[in-house]
Structure 1
Amino acid sequence: KVKQGSMLRQVRGLGALVPEDIRFIPATTQGRVEKILVRPGAVVTKDTVLIILSNLELEQTVQDVDLQLKGAQAEYANLRVKLESQKLDQRAVAASVQADYSQAKLQAEANEELYKKGLLSELQYKLAKTKAEELSTRCGIEKERIAISFESTEAQLATQQAKIDQLQALYQLRQNLLNSLNVRAGSDGVLQQLSVEVGQQVTLGTNLARVANPSHLKAELKIAETQAKDILLGQNASIDTRNGIITGRVSRIDPAVLQGTVTVDVLLTGELPKGARPDLSVDGTIELENLTNILYVGRPVHGQTNSTIGIFKLDSTGKEAFRVTVKLGRSSVNTIEVLEGLSVDDQVILSDMSAWDVYNRIRLN
């Protein structure tokens, strides 16, 4: 029956509930699958070990680097003791020279007094003075040698420490790779997929598992490309899970067309009903616009947007129907706008009447 008033334009598509937070877990090193501890469907935490891998070569590498690191640390300790010993020897030499210089200086000063009084020859005076000057020079040289030795010690220790730091970083890297042989979930959620079996050899980057958070779901709908052109971000939607209706809004529209459909993501704003889980099949309806004060009718089998079709309209008796040409406009899921050919309260046949295409008038039983 043709009506006049408001018509809510909608498009419908099938789809599934998809987790918003999905974590794919790759292999960070090559290895062999030794054990699978958790199977898909299990609830996991970020620290849950899912798979245990083995890599004998990596284990040997970690041991080798560990030995190199310990050797470098021992070498650093030995070098520090050796350099400290050398510094003590140099200080002892410097102290001895300083003592000799002090003694020679006092002797030279005493000889100078004796020389001035004529009690000492000039030669003896000059010899004492020269010895004091020589020891003064040696004392200065020993002080410089100690300063240079200190700088040399710092440089040698810094070089050895740099070697230790490099080996520590390498050891930590190898140890992290070794720890990663115990493959963990990395986030809280549900294990959705395991892509390996026991005994399988995996390479770096191989996808091992998938973990998703089942409490944060979105609907991923497939909308026919002919109906997707009017879909906009933010439009209201409703998702039927067969166990309840969830409200939502359009959050993403895929720019590509795949097999005649466009993927539309719906962010769920309502409470999830019981049984809602990832990959659950759903039926989604998106509200495009609300048309007011228009003629509309139930959507005929072959009624397409902005098309002209022949349709059977019932006469006043309701016992016969005759074909009329109807121009259609904008469509919704179950209704379509009538532009020409019908009036308010007209009754028409919406079912498939292609078997009577050759007739313009039919009698109804």
Structure 2
Amino acid sequence: MDRVIAKKKWNSKRIMTIGGIAALAVLILTSYLSTTGNTKLNVDEQKITISEIKKGSFQEFIPINGVVLPIKTIYLDAIEGGRVEELYVEDGAMMEKDQPIMKLANTDLELDLANRETGVFDLITNMQRLRNEAEQNSIRQLNQLAEVDNALAEAERVYTANKKLFDEKVIAKQEFQSSKNLYDYQVRRKKLTEQTLRNDSISTKQRLQQMQESVNRTQVALGLMRKKAADLVVKAPVAGQLTSLNAEIGESKTRGQRLGQLDVLDGFKVRADIDEHYLSRVFVGLKGEFTFAGKDYELNIKKVYTTVTDGRFQVDMEFTSEVPKGIRRGQTLQIRLALSDQTQAVLLPRGGFYQQTGGNWIYKVTEAGGSAVKVDIRLGRQNPEYYEVLEGLNVGDKVVTSSYENYGDKDELRIKGE
């Protein structure tokens, strides 16, 4: 007799099917929560930086590097070319005004100077000869005039006597007329002699004046040539330190070539490079600070060079009061250049979080302290130490300011201790 066998309700096949469906559901749920839910990540408290939001004095500034330079630098260029014949001092020497530095030799210039000196000497000699000839000519003409005066006086005496005798009918008319003609001739002769003397005097004076002007011009040119020859001895224009001397004995230098420079050590200035991003915000009078030997000093911008090279521009800064003792040319200073006045603000310490968030959000630690949640924020100005908080955080809040590079897009960080 057959009997009915009851069918098992939970066989292995059914169990495996239900288990697979459940696993798939869990996988789908996990995937959904990971993409749409409140995702969390465990972090080690020792590996993160937690900073507190506080209120304090804020000033926007940028760090820049400045190089100490002399207050004034005078460049030494060759006024005339030549061969370096002698060096009187070494690089780095302290110079007095007009102290010789080096001597250049220029044969062509020296020969030209000798020729000009000879030309001036010849002109002066010719002018002196002309003056002597003019004086001798004047003497001859004066002697001639004296003779004419004497002949005129004698002719006048004879004419006057004959006129009286002729009126008295003592002498013949022919004799009287002869004496009169001689007298008239001597009068005309004197006038011509005087006119010749005046003309010669004027002519001689003009020639001497022209020659003197020629001598003067030549002497001026000679003076310039002598100055050019004197410039072959390079001298210090002011007192200072000789630096960057670029000359060796026997080396040829062309006109205008740089020979060195003279640093005036009456004071110092600082030249700094600044990123072109700040060009519109940097102006004359802007102040900066730096620390030297444990003491703070203040600078202000004296000149802005607006030419941009390789993305940077330069400024010259001067010390507002005391110059640090022991400071030297070429030293590099770390300067904090202020771009704004000091104001009270809510401050967020700088940190690596900014690279991942762009300052749009941050992880804020909960009051319990066991976790940190993502909150939106808005930041304003910044300096190398702080960001200015405009929205999203309050004084006393604690936030994670270290890098978020390994956190992905998690909504919450669970902070675990050791």
Same fold by TM (over 0.5)? Answer: yes
Identity percentage of aligned residues: 23
Q: How does 1:230-269 map to 2 (within 5 A)?
A: 230-241=281-292, 244-269=295-320
Q: Counterpart in 2 of 1:190?
A: 241
Which one-letter code corresponds to 2:386 in the other structure? T
* Secondary structure of the corresponding residue to residue 396 of structure 2: coil
CA contact (8 A) 1:241 1:283 kept: no
Larger deviation: 150-159 or 212-221? 212-221
CA contact (8 A) 1:18 1:220 kept: yes
Q: How does 1:34-45 map to 2 (within 5 A)?
A: 34-45=85-96
Q: Counterpart in 1 of 2:415?
A: 363
CA contact (8 A) 2:353 2:362 kept: no
Q: Counterpart in 2 of 1:51?
A: 102
- Are 1:215 and 2:266 counterparts? yes
Structure ID, larger Rg: 2
**Offset, 1:70:** 1.4
> In structure 2, do the counterparts of structure 1 residues 246 and 35 end up closer, same or farther at CA, with 3 Å as the change threshold?
farther
Q: How does 1:257-296 map to 2 (within 5 A)?
A: 257-290=308-341, 292-296=343-347
Q: Counterpart in 1 of 2:114?
A: 63
Q: 1: distance between equivalents of 2:354 and 2:302?
A: 30
**Offset, 1:128:** 0.6
1:118 maps to which of 169, 174, 180 = 169
- Are 1:335 and 2:335 counterparts? no
Q: 2: distance between equivalents of 1:312 and 1:36?
A: 70
Which one-letter code corresponds to 1:272 in the other structure? V
* Secondary structure of the corresponding residue to residue 74 of structure 2: strand
**Offset, 1:225:** 2.6
**Offset, 1:20:** 3.2
Q: Counterpart in 2 of 1:154?
A: 205
Q: 1: distance between equivalents of 2:106 and 2:318?
A: 43
1:15 maps to which of 59, 63, 66 = 66
RMSD: 2.3
Q: 2: distance between equivalents of 1:361 and 1:40?
A: 65
**Offset, 1:320:** 4.3
2:185 maps to which of 134, 150, 159 = 134
**Offset, 1:87:** 0.9
2:147 maps to which of 66, 80, 96 = 96
Q: 2: distance between equivalents of 1:53 and 1:314?
A: 77
Q: 2: distance between equivalents of 1:19 and 1:208?
A: 18
Larger deviation: 279-288 or 316-325? 316-325
CA contact (8 A) 1:214 1:278 kept: no
Which one-letter code corresponds to 1:212 in the other structure? D
**Offset, 1:302:** 6.2
Q: 1: distance between equivalents of 2:191 and 2:371?
A: 130
> In structure 2, do the counterparts of structure 1 residues 63 and 26 end up closer, same or farther at CA, with 3 Å as the change threshold?
same
Q: Counterpart in 1 of 2:45?
A: none
Gaps spanning 5+ residues in structure 2: where? 1-51
**Offset, 1:319:** 5.5
1:166 maps to which of 217, 228, 236 = 217
Which whole-Å deviations, capped at 9, do the CAs of 1:18-42 have from their partners, x for residues lacking one? 2332111111111011222223322
CA contact (8 A) 1:52 1:183 kept: yes
Which whole-Å deviations, capped at 9, do the CAs of 1:54-109 have from their partners, x for residues lacking one? 11111111112112211211111111111110111111111110111111111101
Gaps spanning 5+ residues in structure 1: where? none
Larger deviation: 72-81 or 223-232? 223-232
CA contact (8 A) 1:193 1:209 kept: yes
TM-score, structure 2 as length reference: 0.81
Which one-letter code corresponds to 1:189 in the other structure? G
Q: 2: distance between equivalents of 1:118 and 1:349?
A: 153
CA contact (8 A) 2:353 2:404 kept: no
* Secondary structure of the corresponding residue to residue 277 of structure 2: coil
Larger deviation: 332-341 or 345-354? 345-354
Which whole-Å deviations, capped at 9, do the CAs of 1:316-341 have from their partners, x for residues lacking one? 35564444333211112322211222
